[in-house]
Amino acid sequence: MLESNHLNGAASHFCDFKCRYDLPTSALLALVGRVRMWGARPTGVAPLVPRVVAQVAALQSHSLALAILSATAGCLLGWCTNHAGPWSLSLLALGAWQVSVLGGCRHSLFVGGLTMALAPIFWLSAGMFWVSDFVPDGMHASRWQAVSVAFAVCASLACLLPLWFLLVLGARRIQPNRRLNAGTVAGIWVLSQWAAMELARTTGLIGNYATLSLAWVDTPFARAWLPLVGVQGFEMLLVALASLLGLMVWRKLHEPELASRRSALTALTLALLLVFMPSADWTSPVGEPLAVYALQPSTSRQQEWTVAVRDQRLDQLLHATAFAEPGAIALSSETFFVEPPPNEGYGRWKEATQLASDRQVHLVIGLPYGLRDNAGLHLMNAVVQISPQQESVYAKQKLAPIGEYLPGAKWLGPLYEWLTDAKTADVAIGPPGLAEPLFIGEHFVGASICHELAFSDLIRQGAKVSGWMVNLANDAWAKNDSSYHKQVRSIARLRAMENGKTVVRVSEGGKSVSIDSAGRVIEEAGSFGETTLKLQIQPRSGYTPFNIISNYLPVLGIGILFLCLAWTTNHIEIPRTRGEY
């Protein structure tokens, strides 16, 4: 009878909570039903259902507020990465996220995991909202956006949440009386974020799209730290600072009698180190500046490849070559020509190559390149260099998911057609022999194609021996006002600062841009239409610390962060309001 009355009371409490906040009952029950009730030992399905109802009924208004705080923090982080700032708001959003996680763990492990998951979901959803532009005219924009963002979110949470729960449970086992302290939870929060970053870095699933550093790209802090630790190390510093700020707020709200000066001193020290770290020129100029002609073609989302379009681009190439000084470089966008060049030059293509040879001009053109092996002929997205003394090729190493290849095409082909009403192009990954930097004139040039620029490790490999870097891109799929253009421009600046080398990004459907080794924009196209930019590029020699020790930084950084957190938050327990972990 007592058990029946308890269940009736829980059900009544849950109905009142549902009516007050209008939560989707079936969805919430389905979600909670998949989570094992910590501390419970159900012997079958029947005892589990009442516990699920009781767990949902236990979500009081403060728990809902924590979930809203986590989601709001994620939205703010996504907005900051889309608009390159304000950086202070992104730091406050990170701290608010951690406060919501600490508050969630104070209630239960389930609420803590919920607040841990909501922020990255809304972060990636807001930060990668531009993926709907991929579908022409928004025909299936909502479908495509939902699937693309869901893929990015799942890739991020695949490492974040399992590690979070495992570490929390492990920490609970070794803590006295199985009680977590705030420092332990904060340390696990930091470690889980590092693991998610490491997953994205090693697997190449997302790259630096919607990454935290995009909100800080205009700050002098980025100029000082990125050559030292790269994007991942810089973001770990920001996460550590936000973690300390969040712990200070937590102490003020819940443990005022234990508030000490140590946490404030550590946060202040880390903030001063972040702000006042002096910047240095790790690379030095070498040789004379190079004359580079960036050929940005005219295009539109509806434009098809025709003979007229091909001739228009040949005219642009011939015009730039005819007026270029000897030793200059004519640099085009990605797939400037969407058909491979003829094996034997003839017609206007022969005219262009012959003119370049006569005037000693180097052509660097984006076009498909065929490679034949035992399996047949494969087309690769490539950069072809045609110089008076030599020819060489760089083939794309990281293909764009969906756009250039479909993961699991044998099973997911119908899904792709449902999303885009089209079939993916059959593009092959370039072999390792075609991944080396190009040698143009007297300098090596690190080449990359389109979204490869978002992968720090890939660019770093070519930047080590290169005097400058080029990125050939095709942004015609994105709308002119898309936040994607802002993000890739900021990503190019991150790559320049990390490697201490100039980056030239030539785009079709976007604004071509030249960025110096300090991340400053030297010159940018004034429109999205056809134009030719004449640039003066200064090659540089040398390495940044990031070029040399990047693979060792995460372990070192995590060790330092845990020492800081352990020193500032020792024995600050999180009081539980109900139940067990």
Render pLDDT for 487-536 as a digit per residue (tens, 0 to 9): 899 999 999 999 999 999 999 988 999 999 999 999 999 888 889 999 99
Render pLDDT for 58-92 as a digit per residue (tens, 0 to 9): 444 577 888 889 999 999 998 888 876 688 889 88
The residue among 515, 517, 489, 520 whose CA lies nearest residue 504 is 515
Range of weakest confidence among 115-129, 231-245, 553-567: 553-567
Higher per-residue pLDDT: 335 or 150: 335
Edge-to-edge order in the sheet of strand 391-395: 391-395, 376-386, 362-373, 329-332, 290-296, 531-537
Most confident of 143-157, 389-403, 547-561: 389-403
Distance CA(443)–CA(457), nearest Å, equals 21
- The confidence score (pLDDT) of residue 534 equals 93
- The confidence score (pLDDT) of residue 193 equals 79
- The confidence score (pLDDT) of residue 38 equals 33
Higher per-residue pLDDT: 416 or 507: 507
Higher per-residue pLDDT: 507 or 17: 507
Confidence at 331, pLDDT banded by 50, 70, 90 = very high
| Strands, E assignment, 177-289 | 284-285
Distance CA(167)–CA(176), nearest Å, equals 16
The residue among 459, 476, 457, 477 whose CA lies nearest residue 468 is 459
Res. 389: pLDDT tops 70: yes
- The confidence score (pLDDT) of residue 574 equals 52
- The confidence score (pLDDT) of residue 205 equals 64
CA angle 150, 236, 183 (to 5 degrees): 100
The residue among 496, 505, 494 whose CA lies nearest residue 466 is 496
Higher per-residue pLDDT: 292 or 553: 292
- Specify which residues 428 forms β-bridges with: 380
Render pLDDT for 125-144 as a digit per residue (tens, 0 to 9): 888 777 666 555 444 555 65
The string of DSSP letters for 282-346 reads -SEE-SPPEEEEEEE----TT----HHHHHHHHHHHHHHHHHSPTT-EEEE-TTSSSSPPPSS--
Instruction: Please give the mean pLDDT across all residues of the chain.
Output: 76
- CA–chain centroid gap for 307, Å, is 38
Eight-state DSSP code of residue 37: -
**In the chain, pLDDT over 70 holds for what percent of residues?**
68
Render pLDDT for 166-203 as a digit per residue (tens, 0 to 9): 777 776 666 555 566 777 777 778 877 777 777 777 66
Res. 50: pLDDT tops 80: no
Res. 458: pLDDT tops 50: yes
- The confidence score (pLDDT) of residue 295 equals 94
Confidence at 11, pLDDT banded by 50, 70, 90 = very low
**In the chain, pLDDT over 90 holds for what percent of residues?**
23
The model carries a pTM of 0.81
Confidence at 298, pLDDT banded by 50, 70, 90 = confident
Distance CA(572)–CA(175), nearest Å, equals 12
Burial track 323-351 (b if 16+ CB lie within 10 A, e otherwise): ebeebbbbbbbbbbbeeebeeeeeeebee
Cβ(208)–Cβ(456) below 8 Å:
yes
